Amino acid sequence: MFKIDPSRLDVAREFKAKPFGEHSPELQYVLNYMRTRVTPDFHVLVMTEPGKRWVLAHMPTGGGVPRMTNQSFDKLEDAEWHVFKLRWKDITGQDLPID
Amino acid sequence: MTKIMGYADRLSLQPGETVGIMASCIGADRFRAEIVRLLNPNAGMGASEYREVAIETPANATYKAREQKIHAGSFGVVPEKWALRGIESFTLQAYVWPTTPKKGARALMGNWAEPGTGFGLALDDKGAAEIRIGGFRLSSGVPMLERRWYLVAASFDAKSGQVKLWQEPIYDKTFHAERPVAVEGKAKASVADKGAPFLFAAWRAGESKTPTGWGRLLTKGHFNGRIDRPRLARIALDRAQIQALASGMLPSGVEEKVLGVWDFSKDISGERITDLSPNRLDGEVVNLPTRASPGHNWTGAEMNWTKAPEQYGAIHFHDDDISDAKWQPDFSFTVPKDATSGFYAAKLVADEAYFYVPFFVRPTRGTVKAKIAFLASTATYTVYANNRSRFVRMLTELYQGRLSMMDNVDILQFEFPEMGVSTYDRHTDGSGVSISSRLRPVTNWKPHGRLWNYCCDLFIVDWLEHTGLGYDVITDHDLHAEGQDLLRPYNVVITGSHPEYWSLEMLDALDGYQRQGGRHMYMGGNGFYWRIAFHPTNPNIIEVRRSEDGVRAWDARVGEYYHQFTGEYGGLWRRQGRAPQVPTGVGFISQGFDACSYYRRTDQSRDPRVAFMFEGVTDEILGDFGVLQGGAAGLEIDCADFSLGTPPHALVVAKSENHSNTYILVAEEINIGHGALDAVQNAAIHADLTFFETPSGGAVFSTGSIAYAGSLPINGFDNNIAKLTTNVLKRFVDDKPFPMPR
Ligand SMILES: [Fe+2]
């Protein structure tokens, strides 16, 4: 089974540069790994201003009222990168040394 | 926090007609309502600035706020009748198929009421069959298993106080260790409960001050699962007599003691339930449980309930079924005689909370105000109403390639789960939701939030407004009811960004229109995909059985492929000889939701037949921009397929390319799974911008992409997509016939 290799910072950099659109096979595997994990809740975005502002929230798996965080974004790309870093740390136990 | 929500009692209105608006508002004393015409979506960057036009009407006012509740959960009910009075001894029995036996106590049948009157069969809090007589309870003590058939029966002899209860698994070819259970007890209780209705799948829990699904009756203990062949007798029958009654015969010698012999295989398409006994204890189902469900005796040899109704004698009840919230109107709006046809809404505002209640204004029947009609995909909107599934698992992010997004109105669905879900969801017991009603607050018909369906179609409205050519708005519901005559007066009919769900009546009407010279612009992707059935008498309610194949949120169980409302076979139109390629030239090939792409012109675009389309369009790359993820080609995309019915003379004038990893080949194109199913590797995945002529001077233009609509407004409608599309519209409006190529 595929596992995330925490030394592959190139893959993380690729995601940061282009979170949407065509990904390398390595990056796609990393994303699939992150997105197929079974967790009690998962990250979602709550749009507070149409097309302008999104607040990060935790959604209970199976449904429920989302719990808002105080983290908000005005670009979807920034939200994706923020969550990617959280998941990288959660899975590999290591902080991503990339801003 | 203040909450507000509502719905309309009508969907499509003619000038002079009146719509009632029902609202529920919590946390404020008053709310404000305003009737608006919507001109575009509130889409943020790149889109036109959001605008809605207030309509001058006395309906625009401040109203007293009140909470209106929704009473979800389906059940069957027989009104109180003479034969049901004065019961002392009794037998209750049915075949049952529980789906959530571990989810706490649930009702099966009887007139038992909280806190403890009457009598009834139930599941106890462990999922074991239980008999209740007033405050007395006797359980089999053995939890039933999920999705297995049992004969459950109980008898009570009032004289001796003897109570018997049977719970017997039905042989079904599986291997298991279950054994029949029979228990006995003594009850001193009296069953006397005068004037009570007799219920299936719920027990009574008092009266409401306001209307509920059935009168003002409040119900609880909603059963998840199936009930087949329920029976009631006013005597304690023995086991042999119960068997005779279960198989449909009246036990000899005590025929007159049998009160109810219900046959749920009668009137499957409607809400009536029928008692075959001379007492005629007929009743109805409330909140539309799923009928046409295989019963305890389904053999697998017949898949069509209309051919073997005796094997479809089960009703599948769900504790989250909802067919009509039954709210009271707070105010009404009468469409002015000179009203412009369009997308309208009652905008409800209380404090910082707001909620749009959409409806449509069409021209007076038999008249038109324009040569162009926009067909609002109201069937598809209904089927999608309160789509919850996309928020409840990370699976959505996996196939969309981006974080799931919601707004405050979407969250209402989780705060008030009783408003029910969509046919993209599963019921609380895991079974697929096949019925959707719009007679309840709907959180995803709004000009904001996810740019999808209703909201996305407003991009097309915005563009139509910009062209100044004039258009009427008509709806799927009008088309289903009126057929081809609705379309005939128009030179052009435009279908929306995602007209996915079609009844046979709708599809025939469009086919007839196209055959008689009508012009069709299909401005979307994954259209004309699923077959649907409208409720026989209430068009606000639509059914979809997701059979066989296709990209689907759930798969219908085998034996449940035929719609209960019409008896029609469910599933993809492609699997019924009418692939989307036939009416439009293109059909669903892939979906992805992380990034959209562009089209590249083809050699076929130089054909003089399509010269009109490219006047003033010099770019080779079309639509490499857009509000919807940056491109005109994407989200859900369609391509031509001559083997599925794309007309041989169709021209593919542009083809999309460069789609991302999340674009996967649709399920119906995959017979053997392999590792090259995404667009990065699989060349089959692309959208085809397609044109063809039809007999009688008509023509069809298809974009084959949901995202296309989001490219129209870029740069103030000054871009190659808007230019090309407007060229098509202008030519299609022109009476001059299109000659069929030889
Ligand atoms: Fe869809």
How many angstroms separate the alpha carbon of residue B453 from the centre of ligand 1? Answer: 8
Chain B CB contacts of A80 under 8 Å are 402-403
In a domain, A2, yes or no: no
Query: Is B595 in contact with A20 (Cβ distance < 8 A)?
Result: yes
Of all residues in chain B, what percent are helix, strand and coil, respectively (each to 5)?
A: 20, 35, 50
CA terminus-to-terminus distance, chain B: 66
Helix/strand/coil for B198: strand
Distance CA B608, CA B317 (A): 59
Among all residues of chain B, which has the CA nearest to that of A38?
A: B394
State how far residue B251 is from chain A, nearest Cα, in angstroms.
Answer: 48
CA proximity to B380, closest of B452, B461, B443: B452
How many angstroms separate the alpha carbon of residue B604 from the centre of ligand 1? Answer: 30
How many angstroms separate the alpha carbon of residue B523 from the centre of ligand 1? Answer: 14
Overall average pLDDT of the B117-142 stretch: 97
Query: Is A54 in contact with B405 (Cβ distance < 8 A)?
Result: yes
Query: What is the extent of the structural domain holding A84?
Result: 9-92
Q: pLDDT for B166-176, tens place per residue?
A: 999 999 888 99
What letters, b where the CB count within 10 A reaches 16 and e where it falls short, cover B614-639? beebebeebbbbbbbbbbbbbbbbbb
- Band (pLDDT 50/70/90 cuts) for residue B44 is confident
DSSP string, B330-359: EEEEEPPTTPPPEEEEEEEEETTEEEEEEE
Query: Is B405 in contact with A44 (Cβ distance < 8 A)?
Result: yes
Contact B461, B364 (CB under 8 A): no
Among all residues of chain B, which has the CA nearest to that of A33?
A: B398
Chain A CB contacts of B43 under 8 Å are 50-51
CA proximity to B645, closest of B573, B580, B689, B576: B580
Q: What angle do helix axes B720-733 and B454-467 make, rounded to 10 degrees?
A: 70
Q: Is B191 a residue whose pLDDT tops 80?
A: no
Distance CA A23, CA A15 (A): 8
Distance CA B598, CA B600 (A): 7
CA proximity to B427, closest of B393, B399, B388: B388
Contact B472, B595 (CB under 8 A): no
In a domain, A75, yes or no: yes
> Which of B392, B411, B595 is the closest to A21 by Cβ?
B595
Q: Number of A to B CB contacts under 8 A, please give it.
A: 95
Q: pLDDT for A2-48, tens place per residue?
A: 999 999 999 999 999 999 999 999 999 999 999 999 999 999 999 99
Contact B602, B595 (CB under 8 A): no
How many angstroms separate the alpha carbon of residue A8 from the centre of ligand 1? Answer: 37
Distance CA B156, CA B244 (A): 18
Question: Structure tokens of A99?
Answer: 């801003």
Overall average pLDDT of the B337-345 stretch: 97
Q: What is the pLDDT of residue B277?
A: 94
Show the domains of chain B with their CATH numbers.
Answer: 75-317 (2.60.120.200), 372-578+696-703+718-733 (no CATH)
How many angstroms separate the alpha carbon of residue B438 from the centre of ligand 1? Answer: 17
CA proximity to B622, closest of B549, B669, B688: B688
In a domain, A19, yes or no: yes
CA proximity to B205, closest of B21, B396, B58, B75: B75
How many angstroms separate the alpha carbon of residue B88 from the centre of ligand 1? Answer: 54
Among all residues of chain B, which has the CA nearest to that of A27?
A: B661
Q: Is B475 a residue whose pLDDT tops 90?
A: yes
Query: Is B448 in contact with A20 (Cβ distance < 8 A)?
Result: no
Q: Is B250 a residue whose pLDDT tops 90?
A: no
Bridge partners, A56 (sequence order): A45
Instruction: Determine what percent of chain B is predicted with pLDDT higher than 70.
Output: 100
A30: left (phi over 0), alpha (psi -120 to 50) or beta: alpha
State how far residue B391 is from chain A, nearest Cα, in angstroms.
Answer: 7
Query: Is B408 in contact with A62 (Cβ distance < 8 A)?
Result: no
State how far residue A83 is from chain B, nearest Cα, in angstroms.
Answer: 9
How many angstroms separate the alpha carbon of residue B498 from the centre of ligand 1? Answer: 7
State how far residue B403 is from chain A, nearest Cα, in angstroms.
Answer: 6
State how far residue A7 is from chain B, nearest Cα, in angstroms.
Answer: 23
- Band (pLDDT 50/70/90 cuts) for residue B192 is low
Which residue of A27, A38, A44 is the best one to mutate when testing the B interface, meaning the one whose CB has the most B CBs within 10 A?
A44
pTM: 0.97
* Rg, chain A, Cα only: 14
Among all residues of chain B, which has the CA nearest to that of A25?
A: B661
Contact B318, B431 (CB under 8 A): yes
What does DSSP assign to residue B662? T
Query: Is A20 in contact with B629 (Cβ distance < 8 A)?
Result: yes
- Band (pLDDT 50/70/90 cuts) for residue B190 is confident
Residue with structure tokens 């908000």?
A: A72
State how far residue A50 is from chain B, nearest Cα, in angstroms.
Answer: 6
Residue with structure tokens 């606000």?
A: B540
State how far residue B120 is from chain A, nearest Cα, in angstroms.
Answer: 33
Q: Find all residues with CB under 8 Å of B127, minimum gap 6, and list them.
A: B98, B101, B102, B143, B144
Whether the ipTM is more than 0.85: the answer is yes
> Which of A23, A43, A61 is the closest to B661 by Cβ?
A23
* Angle formed at CA B200 by CA B197 and CA B201, multiple of 5 degrees: 130
Residues within 5 Å of ion ligand 1, judged at the Cβ atom = B 500
Task: Please provide the average confidence, as pLDDT, over all residues in chain B.
Answer: 97
DSSP string, A36-48: H---SEEEEEEEE
In a domain, A1, yes or no: no
Chain A CB contacts of B48 under 8 Å are none
* Rg, chain B, Cα only: 28
Q: pLDDT for A46-60, tens place per residue?
A: 999 998 999 999 999
Q: Is B560 a residue whose pLDDT tops 70?
A: yes
- Band (pLDDT 50/70/90 cuts) for residue B300 is very high
Distance CA A54, CA A15 (A): 20
In a domain, A76, yes or no: yes
Q: Is B189 a residue whose pLDDT tops 80?
A: no
Q: pLDDT for B61-93, tens place per residue?
A: 999 999 999 999 999 999 999 999 989 999 999
In a domain, A46, yes or no: yes
State how far residue B694 is from chain A, nearest Cα, in angstroms.
Answer: 38
Which residue of B394, B396, B443, B456 is the best one to mutate when testing the A interface, meaning the one whose CB has the most A CBs within 10 A?
B394
Among all residues of chain A, which has the CA nearest to that of B397?
A: A35
Q: pLDDT for B673-701, tens place per residue?
A: 999 999 999 999 999 999 999 999 999 99
State how far residue A4 is from chain B, nearest Cα, in angstroms.
Answer: 16
Among all residues of chain B, which has the CA nearest to that of A22?
A: B660
Other beta carbons less than 10 A from residue B14's beta carbon: 17
> Which of A20, A42, A79 is the closest to B594 by Cβ?
A20
Query: Is B42 in contact with A83 (Cβ distance < 8 A)?
Result: no
Q: pLDDT for B206-248, tens place per residue?
A: 999 999 999 999 999 999 999 999 999 999 999 999 999 999 8
Q: pLDDT for B725-740, tens place per residue?
A: 999 999 999 999 999 9
Q: Is B193 a residue whose pLDDT tops 80?
A: no
Under an 8 Å CB criterion, which residues of B touch A?
Answer: 42-45, 47, 50, 388, 391-394, 397-398, 401-408, 411, 414-415, 417, 448-449, 594-595, 627, 629, 658, 660-661, 680
Peptide bond into B647 cis (omega under 30): no
Under an 8 Å CB criterion, which residues of A touch B?
Answer: 19-23, 28, 31-32, 35-37, 39, 42-52, 54, 59, 61-66, 76, 79-80, 83
Overall average pLDDT of the B426-446 stretch: 98
> Which of B394, B403, B595 is the closest to A45 by Cβ?
B403
Question: Structure tokens of B448?
Answer: 């904001």
What is the tally of structural domains in chain A? 1
State how far residue A6 is from chain B, nearest Cα, in angstroms.
Answer: 21
Query: Is B393 in contact with A62 (Cβ distance < 8 A)?
Result: yes
Query: Is A61 in contact with B44 (Cβ distance < 8 A)?
Result: no
Query: Is B411 in contact with A37 (Cβ distance < 8 A)?
Result: no
Distance CA B708, CA B390 (A): 22
Helix/strand/coil for B437: strand
